[in-house]
Structure 1
Amino acid sequence: MQRIYTVLLLFVVSVINAQSVNDYRTVASGNWTDVGIWEVYNGTSWVTATTYPGQVAGTNDVFIQGYNVTLNSSIPNTFNSLTVGSGTLFISSNSSLDTSSITLVTGGFMEWTSNNTNLALPSDASIVLQGGRLVEDSPCNATKTLSIGGVVYASCNGGGGVDNEFGDINDGGGTLSATPSSNGPICVGQTLNLFANPSGAGSTTATFSWSGVGPGGYSFSSAVQNPTESGITSTGTYTYTVTVTDTNGYSDTNSVDVTVSGNPTTPTSNGDQTICSGSSGTLTVTVGPGETVDWYDAATGGTLLLSDNTSYTTSTAGSYYAETRNTTSGCVSTNRVIVSLVTKSCSVITNRRVTYRVNN
């Protein structure tokens, strides 16, 4: 168990210590709008803040670590994310945060301390729990609410006509969200697999709506959670967007980009080879810059005989198949070129000094 705790602690520390210009972190407990509780990263070091996070445009990531912060107002400007670890964000009156990502890591909490209190988040926001949680026992009632995009997503005890309670968010690992992914990048002719990756409260009964756009007026749509697409014929970047919607009508939308690369041309054979039985012959092909060759024993499928070589040496007569592979994209030629090795019997003439092999 000691190892598990150590790993969790290291994870929290690594998250909190990540830093970019205009990141903020706490150095004391207090009110969010109290400039004195914050430091800001200037690109070289942490320095005393002159504004609080979100007071002016340009705030990046915000970290509450080891301290408690009270929020009781609407923060005017957008910031990238909020991470709470080993501390608590207290919501003491109606408030709003304009951020798309709140993460509660181990030891991090959010607690509504007053009745008739709502925390408002924008429509693209999600709360992710990575060991942290929303406090449910302070005490809990329906007037302590969380709204996302103007819709009341949850109340502390699930009352007030909403589908979710804070316990559902804790059990689900956060609010409803989709984090789409794919098996991309892919090559022209390959099947694209899309994954919605829903999580959070309400995800098990959610519905899905996919759309996609790409080069040449390409469009795509699907209502399947994890759809596939096999009709892509043009290279370029394609954008696929999924909206996941729970039974209460709350939805979360996110996108994933997929790069589709072209297939290289078939290798050019440098000719079949004829050798004497018992000898070895080398078959060669030519491909373009940034390309290599894989050799097979069949025109399709088959067994890989040699990889990453424009030459193949063998003593076994037969037909061999060379396939081009782009070393950057991994895409392969649609067809393989056939190169044959022919063996024939040869006569041997020997004198005292030299042995001659003569083709029959």
Structure 2
Amino acid sequence: MKWLPTILFFFFVGVLTNVSAQTTGDFRSTGNGTNDNWDNLANWEYYNGTSWVPAPYYPGNGATNDVTIIGANKINLNISPPQNINSITVGDGDRTNKAILHIATDSTLKTTSFTIAYDGQVTWENAILTFPDPNTDIYIESGEPGYGLDVKTPCSSKKSIYLDSVRYAICNDNSNSGEYSFEDLNKNGGSLTVTPTSNSPICLGDTVFLSANPSGPGTKNFSWDLIASPNSDTYTSTSENPNNYIPSFSGGYTFEVTVTNENGNTDTKTIDVTVNPSPSSPVSSGNITECATNPIQTLDANDAITSTGTITWYDAMTGGNVVSNPTLATEDTITYYAEYSDDTCTSTRTPVTLTINSLPIAPTGDTEQNFCSANNPTVANLTTTTGTNIQWYTTATGGTALANTTPLTTNTYYASQSDTNCESSSRLAVAVSVNGCSVITNRRITYRVKK
């Protein structure tokens, strides 16, 4: 367990105060060795506000503030004190003389603060110790062998601690049951613990989700720190369950969480998070754009992807819905987004736009046009009334567009028009006549005038 120096300082002051600066109603053990049972008045002294005096009743059988079992004393908890006790501390800080509370029979302690100090130990018969308040703070300063909760064999499930009606810990290791063992509580320092979890492993670009999963009593404060990362990044949070850190590098990250309650008790744990690299995005040869055909064609976005592997298509750059058939078979424009997966992580998405452009209509104009052969007419002399980017052919469909310098003959020519994307499939038919035209010249006319 990680202890903060300030907390340790105040705790030692608190333990010593329990012995040297008392409050009316405090009890301490005397350990006369004649009969060490809890309900034997000879084992207790009572502070009356001025001095320590022989106890008028055993702790919890009347008004009781703080109870301390001092070093070299052993008290057998052989009853269940009927009244509330403010706090119980096993040990007085003197490591040379062990203080022992022995659970001699099934007993109940009505307290919310139970501390096993550095020189304290709790030992057991086959008995149950119950704390009626489920928020009881069990605070263990040292879980070293011979101190804290006794974990030596033989152990049994009968040797247990209950918080209210819930069995909280048992002597033997019973981790599969979801309960703590005494060894767990010794290691964690008592009933205030954190068991951090995360959504590891994650992929680069994903958010780390952390959960403290605290147990134990009191109002809790949390402190998260990123203590190891591939890029020496820093991160802190005071949330119980932070979810706002996005790693910028792949690799291993270690987070440390500390929980502290209002009594100054603390527990610290670490958790490792693995960030896997994201694979490269699918490579595209480009968007696919075509003019409509009859019957209409089908465009497939897969034809634009040159990468191999597991590709999943979506209808949005992020989020969105999976598209099983990324095609287009109408005059329209649509964009699909290809994502690659390496079975661990997914890439960012690559957009592919499919477009089928509609065809313009045929141009309009005179369907009969006449030319004189003497003028050497060419395709450039043909005209239309409407249309842009006119192309002339000698066939109604197909064929090769004629150059503007192509001489005209008596024939039928066909005009198409094009917009910025497509050429019309229908064409204007124009009947062309090229003839030898007559040339009319002036003849001299002589007029005779009578005189």
* Structure that is richer in strand per residue: 1
Greater C-alpha Rg:
2
